[in-house]
Structure 1
Amino acid sequence: MLRRAATIRLAAFLVLAGGCGAVRAEPPPPTVVQVSPPLGAARARPDQGLVVRAQGGPLQRVVAHSGGVPVRGDLDAAGTTWRSRWTLKPGAEYSVIVTAAGRTVAAGRFRTRPAGRALQLTATAPLPGETVGVGMPVILDFGSPVRDKAAVERALEVTAGRPVEGAWRWIGDTRAVYRTRRFWSAGQTVTVTAHLAGVRAAPGLHGTADRTFAFTVGRHQATEIDARTHRMVVRRDGRAVRHMAISAGMATTREYTTTSGVHLTMDKGHPVRMISPGRDEGDPGYYDVMIDHAVRISDSGEYVHAKDNVWAQGRRNVSHGCVNARPDQAAWFYSHSLRGDPVVITGTDRELEWDNGWGFWQLSWEKWRAGSALLAPGPLP
């Protein structure tokens, strides 16, 4: 009996000892985070953005502000790295609070270094609030040459009411143009945001502020002009709404030949002064005239405009390269045109160059995308 009692007491001791061991298990190590730029920094690089990395567990939340404006960012799939979507504003103070495992694991402030020279967005097309045609590009002009085009292009955001595929193309060092793969859908709003604050466009050149504007895509209007048959048809939402007799370029020289291809209406004037190119007063073929209801479709002097030469319209091409129509019909076209309306011309042996005005639709989608800096970004010298 004594041996059995001792065995029972030993078993009970072992059970109690095992239970005590479970209670004394060590807690998991705390989550450790790294904030970049480091908290407390006084001259952080704004072009690097804000990055928070965690070790020992996932992040729950990252809250960052500057001047009351929140910094938007995203967690990776593992939940251990958070990155700001855009670069940071130069010369600004940022506050950061990081939460993990139900508690604050990092909190503090840092300041970004000020910009040397400021990258300015000097002009946009469309204009803010403008209603445009379905072929309208987005054109951004910068006040200084952009050397790191990939960095700037990454900061450009286009959001359409109906999702669309589009791409930027650089034309020189100061202009970026966005074109969709296919025409915009009619009747929607498009918002363009240039997240330029903090972007390093060149050594010593940074964006200092973001810029946002919106425009509306109006009805779907497209015009077909055949220089051989001397006819023009305007279609709206797929339905022919106007037929016109026209006269195109006489084609005695290259400059007097109307270009064939996909044009876009660019602007209009009533009247517009037109002067013969490359000729002085007194030279053969010189002219200096005021033309009514003129809608420009290229940079090489081509317009669709009014002209009271009904004897040629519908029969012969006698113009200096423009397309002219009867005054009342040209006035109708003028009043019903929006910037960015497609005008497709056929029947001549002179092709519209893709960089003649807004001839961007002359390029295939693959060739258009080849002008994007993001396809083959190079290192900044």
Structure 2
Amino acid sequence: MEMDGFRSAERSAPAGRRGRLRLAVAAVLASTLLLTTACSGDDKPSWQGGGNTPEGTSASQPPASQPALSTVAVTSPAADAKSVELWSEVKYNSEDPANTEVKVTAKGKEVKGTVDKDAKVWRPAEGLAWNTTYTVDVSTPAADGKTTSATSTFTTMKEPSKVVRATSFLADGQKVGVGMPLIMKFGRAIPEKYRAEVERRMVVTATPAQEGVWRWSSPTEVQYRPKTYWKPNSKIFYSVNLKGVEMGDGWYGRTNLTVDLSIGREMIMTVNNKTKQMTVKQDGKVIKTLPVSLGKASTPSASGTMVVMEKAAHTVFDTTDEDPVNGYKTPIDWAQRLTYSGQFIHAAPWSEGVQGKRNVSHGCVNVSEAMGKWLFDRTLMGDVIVVSGTEEKLKNGDGWTNWNMSWEEYKKGSYLS
């Protein structure tokens, strides 16, 4: 600050007087500063942190901003949506997905489901109920320690008139052989476009764990087998959650079902056409070798890997409808079906004299009356029989031929592979 009047007087004054003038100027400056401070109230000079800067901060370091509150919102299904399909996912937005909780309820009860926090999606564990209102609550902790939340509702579709029934060939509590496939049948052909989703909803759990896959044997039937024969004494559980699953042309799955069954000991029957003997192994050990007679040249037995499909202690083979001239109608004991086309293991007392020597059957595996009963008493549906060395090969699809193809070939029948 320069005061021209004082400086002019200082220049014109003698040396002794100049000193006194400097003191006077200093006093005036000091009083001016005191007056300025007093007029400014509680404000501090800017070099002491004064001015308009908030208390406790400096002009060069602005105060830290408060953290933004985390927000959440349900994005799908839309709020108050109607006719929502039963397997619809719940989608949401969140700025803190790792700490976000999702809860879906209906009629006061929480619905089972899984949350993919990365994708910000909730998926139902099974198909939702028809024509039911669901409430979605999404919440996440806020910066102030409170909770930010969002709520939305939607209503599922009414049960359609066009529903597809799915049935399991096997039932709870059954014990089957190590070659038994799991079989699901549908009341209507499933278009290829929808088969992958149908497979995805049919989950097989084996104890101990075993790799396996579903294969479509026809548009109305799908079968499941493990990579190798089921491990003996395994426990098998499968859940088929098809209620509300779209199956094309306005058709939907009708219901869900579960099946709980067990696998027995391992029994493998091996028939060699060259020796005309059957070797029976149980849990890897030979327990019986017996003579057989296979199909004669005009009606050969098929070579391949088959399983026991059904058993009848006493039945009648009647082929007269198929062949009125050469057909036959014969009572049969201890019959075990191997193919749809009519290949069986069965007792044939009329061929006992040539069993182990010549083939005289119409394609079946003939055994004696005694051996027929012995086998029948020990086998389970799903036990394996392997026939080799005959003139004809087993056609895939002629029975449960799941084991008549390699694992790589079998997997090609899945729409998820």
- TM-score normalised by L of structure 1: 0.87
Contact 2:105 2:135 in 1 (8 A): yes
Q: Partner letter of residue 348 of structure 2?
A: K
> Aligned partners of 1:241 and 1:297: how far apart in 2?
21
Tell whether 2:128 aligns with 1:88: yes
> Aligned partners of 2:66 and 2:335: how far apart in 1?
83
Tell whether 2:139 aligns with 1:99: yes
Contact 1:93 1:111 in 2 (8 A): yes
> Aligned partners of 1:121 and 1:219: how far apart in 2?
33
> Aligned partners of 2:224 and 2:70: how far apart in 1?
47
- Aligned twin of 2:222: 176
> Aligned partners of 2:364 and 2:148: how far apart in 1?
69
Relative distance call for 1:155 and 1:279 in structure 2 (3 A) is closer
SS at match of 2:82: coil
Larger of the two Rg values belongs to structure = 2
SS at match of 2:358: coil
Q: How does 1:265-304 map to 2 (within 5 A)?
A: 265-276=308-319, 279-281=322-324, 283=325, 285-304=326-345
> Aligned partners of 1:33 and 1:300: how far apart in 2?
61
Higher relative contact order (CA 8 A, sep 6+): 1
- Aligned twin of 1:140: 184
Tell whether 2:157 aligns with 1:113: yes
> Aligned partners of 2:45 and 2:149: how far apart in 1?
51
> Aligned partners of 1:146 and 1:170: how far apart in 2?
10
- Aligned twin of 2:168: 124
Q: Which one is further off, 78-87 or 192-201? A: 78-87
Contact 1:135 1:340 in 2 (8 A): yes
Provide Cα deviations, 1:299-330, integer angstroms capped at 9, x if missing partner: 11011111113211111111111111111111
Contact 1:115 1:205 in 2 (8 A): no
Contact 1:156 1:192 in 2 (8 A): yes
The runs of 5 or more residues in structure 2 that have no matched partner are 1-29, 38-43
Superposition deviation, residue 79 in structure 1: 6.8
Contact 1:115 1:204 in 2 (8 A): no
> Aligned partners of 2:403 and 2:58: how far apart in 1?
77
Choose from 48, 57, 60 the match for 1:18. 57
Choose from 303, 313, 318 the match for 1:260. 303
> Aligned partners of 1:257 and 1:220: how far apart in 2?
28
CA RMSD of aligned residues (A): 2.7
- Aligned twin of 1:72: 113
Tell whether 2:198 aligns with 1:152: yes
- Aligned twin of 2:13: none
- Aligned twin of 1:238: 284
- Aligned twin of 1:362: 404
Superposition deviation, residue 286 in structure 1: 2.8
Superposition deviation, residue 90 in structure 1: 3.3
The runs of 5 or more residues in structure 1 that have no matched partner are 376-381
- Aligned twin of 2:85: 45
Choose from 351, 360, 364 the match for 1:322. 364
> Aligned partners of 2:210 and 2:106: how far apart in 1?
32
Contact 1:117 1:206 in 2 (8 A): no
Contact 2:166 2:253 in 1 (8 A): no
Q: How does 1:363-378 map to 2 (within 5 A)?
A: 363-375=405-417
Q: Partner letter of residue 10 of structure 1?
A: Q
- Aligned twin of 1:161: 207
Q: Partner letter of residue 330 of structure 2?
A: V
> Aligned partners of 2:80 and 2:138: how far apart in 1?
15
> Aligned partners of 1:11 and 1:233: how far apart in 2?
101
Provide Cα deviations, 1:319-350, integer angstroms capped at 9, x if missing partner: 11111111111111111111111100111021
Superposition deviation, residue 60 in structure 1: 2.8
Relative distance call for 1:268 and 1:99 in structure 2 (3 A) is same
The number of aligned residues is 367
> Aligned partners of 1:286 and 1:324: how far apart in 2?
18
SS at match of 2:199: helix
Relative distance call for 1:117 and 1:162 in structure 2 (3 A) is farther
> Aligned partners of 1:224 and 1:239: how far apart in 2?
13
Relative distance call for 1:75 and 1:129 in structure 2 (3 A) is same
Q: Partner letter of residue 262 of structure 1?
A: T
Provide Cα deviations, 1:340-364, integer angstroms capped at 9, x if missing partner: 1110011102111110010121122
